[in-house]
Amino acid sequence: MSIPEIVTQLVGIEERLRDLAYDRLREAAVGDAEAAADEKRILAARRAVEKAIRSLGGAPFDE
């Protein structure tokens, strides 16, 4: 497996984490306290994946 292939997989993972974080944020907005905690953990994981993508020479993300 090559680095570009790994970057592609990581980009897909980052997108799924972003979608999941938005879902949990919507749930937190209606009062689900557990969803709020989940969203924070998912956001931290997403940022770590973004960092890995940048470290491997993938496209930078807007922050």
The token pair at 32 is 């689900």
Q: Where are the domains of the chain?
A: 3-55
Q: What pTM was estimated for this model as a whole?
A: 0.85
pLDDT recorded at residue 48: 97
SS3 32: coil
Query: Which tens digit of pLDDT belongs to each residue from 5-63?
Result: 999 999 999 999 999 999 999 999 998 889 999 999 999 999 999 999 999 998 766 54
Q: Are 42 and 24 within 8 A, CB to CB? A: yes
